[in-house]
Structure 1
Amino acid sequence: MKNGIHPTSRPVIFRDKAGDFAFLTRSTATSDRTLAWTDGNTYPVIDVETSSASHPFYTGKARELDTAGRIDRFRRRYGRSAG
Structure 2
Amino acid sequence: MPKPNIHPTWYPEAKVTCNGEVIMTVGSTSPEINVEVWSGNHPFYTGTQKIIDTEGRVDRFQKRYAMIGKKVNKEASESSSETK
Query: TM-score, normalization: structure 1?
Result: 0.47
The structure with the greater share of residues assigned to helix is 2
Structure with bigger gyration radius: 2
Asked which structure has the greater RCO (Cα within 8 Å, sep 6+), the reply is: 1
Query: TM-score, normalization: structure 2?
Result: 0.47
